[in-house]
Chain A
Amino acid sequence: MRITQGQFSFLPDLTDEEIRAQVDYALSRGWALSVEWTDDPHPRNCYWNMWGIPMFQIKDGVAVLFEVNACRKANSEVYIKVNAFDNTRGVESMVMSFLVQRPTNEPGFGLQRTEEPGRTIRYTTFSYSNQRPAGQRYS
């Protein structure tokens, strides 16, 4: 199951050229770019691993691509995303976020129903890959 998180996730995966164009747009707005990766793609997991510190003061999108490629080389079978942070006072939040790599095999999510008293049912989603320990989920 193809995971759809962040921008452009219903489109075919972005090529390096397209990633650079997006990054150049973010830079033109003065946003700080960062690269993050994870092997736990649960939609509520907001704590991805940082790949280096956010990049301030860069002028060209190639620098971000340089880090994305370094991250891909180190972690070939994980999810990688690029974030753009707008530090304008009053905004101060992530304004862009898109996946730039996904593992070759994505098992997807299951739906679990828990019966509660009074015919109540509670639902929860779980990732099939998370049933294995971290580091072995997609290898």
Chain B
Amino acid sequence: MNAPDTVSVTPPTEINLHQILQDAEIEPVIKQLESELIGLAPVKARIREIAAFLVVSRARAAMGLEASSPSLHMCFTGNPGTGKTTVALRMAEILHRLGYVRKGHVVSVTRDDLVGQYIGHTAPKTKEILKKAMGGVLFIDEAYYLYRPENERDYGQEAIEILLQVMENHRDDLVVILAGYKDRMDTFFQSNPGMSSRIAHHIDFPDYSETELTQIAGKMVGGMNYNLDADAEKAMQEYIHLRKQQPHFANARSIRNALDRARLRQANRIFKLAMEGSATVTAQELSTISADDLRASRVFTGGLASDKK
């Protein structure tokens, strides 16, 4: 005789959604996401949707309505520097707070970490990474590199197969997030339909507009305890406008690099002043980036010599 599967405790007939939200402390994470990340409106909307879906499915599970746990694997597509990694970190936190991953850590890998160099090397290598990621989120950057159609003996296919198997069988143990450029990810999914069908959430990250990039620059400068004077702010806007048209533009990452170089020039400028005899500097001077620091950039003279046509 079979023992009855159902527990004798009757499920509650109503559940306080607000309570779940509060218990998971999900609201602060989402608020932080909205305030810290500039732009990305469609991404934020999708994350809100996913968070709402997870809260509801947890309530459903508590009432005994949900049969299996939802598939949470995701794909982030977008140009470089649009915040895919940052959002993945936040996503891991949201999933952790809602109890969909137990530890909430993020293991960030690329092709090199998964694919081996000789026959029989790939499987243990991939499994090793998967084991590290269990209980958390596996973030595969530039995931389309895993599949190389031009080389039929490429070991990437083996890594994909192991990945698929674990994504299916260990759905409760880890969440896989793939990231990469939109067009190349589309080709990747076309040649690996199994992968596409196992990923429930495809999120596209739009490029930032010039105003958004200016805001981001302001935030970064603030975060580094520097400030731009009025002229420098204008120079920054011009810089962004020019830089966007030049090759290898990587959105927020380009801005960060530009600021890092401006800081170098600012330090150099202050150092020169000290060499010329002015012995004291004020905190104000130490933390102000002037227009000259930015305008010395090659971007204003047409970019790298090698990129000029």
A interface residues (Cβ-Cβ under 8 A, vs B) = 52, 55, 57-63, 66-67
Q: A50 to B159, alpha carbons, bound, how many Å?
A: 24
Number of A-B contacts (CB under 8 A): 33
Q: Give A24 to B166 CA distance when docked, in angstroms.
A: 21
| 8 A–B contacts from the bound complex (CB under 8 Å) | A52-B124, A55-B131, A57-B132, A59-B135, A62-B135, A66-B127, A66-B131, A66-B134
Do the beta carbons of A59 and B105 come within 8 Å of each other?
yes
Whether B134 lies near A60 (C-beta < 8 A) is: yes
Interface residue tally on B, bucketed by range: 10 to 19
Nearest-Cβ distance from residue A30 to partner chain B, whole angstroms: 14
> Does any Cβ of A come within 8 Å of B44's Cβ?
no
B116 contacts A by Cβ under 8 Å: no
Q: Which residue of B lies closest to A63 (CB)?
A: B131
**Contacting pair A60 B124 (CB below 8 A):** no
In the complex, A66→B173 CA distance in Å? Answer: 10
Distance to closest chain A CB from B195 (angstroms): 21
Distance to closest chain A CB from B181 (angstroms): 30
For B132, the chain A residues whose CB sits under 8 A away are 57-59, 63
Check A63–B124 contact: CB distance below 8 A.
no
Beyond contacts A58-B134, A60-B103: 16 other A-B pairs, Cβ-Cβ < 8 A, are: A52-B124, A57-B132, A58-B131, A59-B132, A60-B135, A60-B136, A62-B134, A62-B135, A62-B173, A63-B130, A63-B131, A63-B132, A63-B134, A63-B135, A66-B131, A66-B170
A119 CB, min distance to chain B CBs, angstroms: 57
Q: Is the interface of B mostly helix, strand, loop or mixed?
A: loop
Bound Cα distance from A63 to B103, whole angstroms: 12
Q: List residues of B whose CB falls within 8 A of some A CB.
A: 102-103, 105, 124, 127, 130-132, 134-136, 170, 173
Determine if A59 and B124 form an interchain contact, defined as CB atoms under 8 angstroms apart. Answer: no
Q: Complex Cα distance A66/B131, Å?
A: 8
Output the least CB separation between B250 and chain A (Å).
30
CB contacts (< 8 Å) of A52 on chain B: these are 124
Instruction: Say whether B136 contacts A59, CB under 8 Å.
Output: yes
What is the minimal beta-carbon distance from B127 to any residue of chain A, in angstroms?
A: 8
Residue of A nearest to B172 (CB): A62
Contacts of A58 in B (CB 8 A): 131-132, 134
Nearest Cβ on chain A to B171's Cβ, whole angstroms: 12
Shortest distance from the beta carbon of A15 to any chain B beta carbon, whole Å: 17
CB neighbours (8 Å) of A55 from chain B are 131
Q: Which 5 A-B pairs have the closest CB atoms?
A: A60-B135, A63-B131, A63-B134, A60-B134, A62-B173
Chain B residues, Cβ within 8 Å of A57: 132
Which of these, A60, A66, A67, contacts B102 with CB under 8 Å? A60
A111 and B170 CA atoms in complex are apart in Å by 47
- Provide the residues of chain A in CB contact with B136, threshold 8 Å: 59-60
A67 to B136, CA, bound (A): 18
Complex Cα distance A27/B134, Å? 13
Distance (Å) between the CB of A125 and the closest chain B CB?
37
Distance A67 CA – B166 CA, assembled complex (angstroms): 13
Q: How many angstroms from the CA of A26 to the CA of B136 in the assembled complex?
A: 18
A71 nearest CB across to chain B (Å): 13
CA distance A55 to B128 in the complex (A): 8
Contact residues in B for A66 (Cβ distance below 8 Å): 127, 131, 134, 170
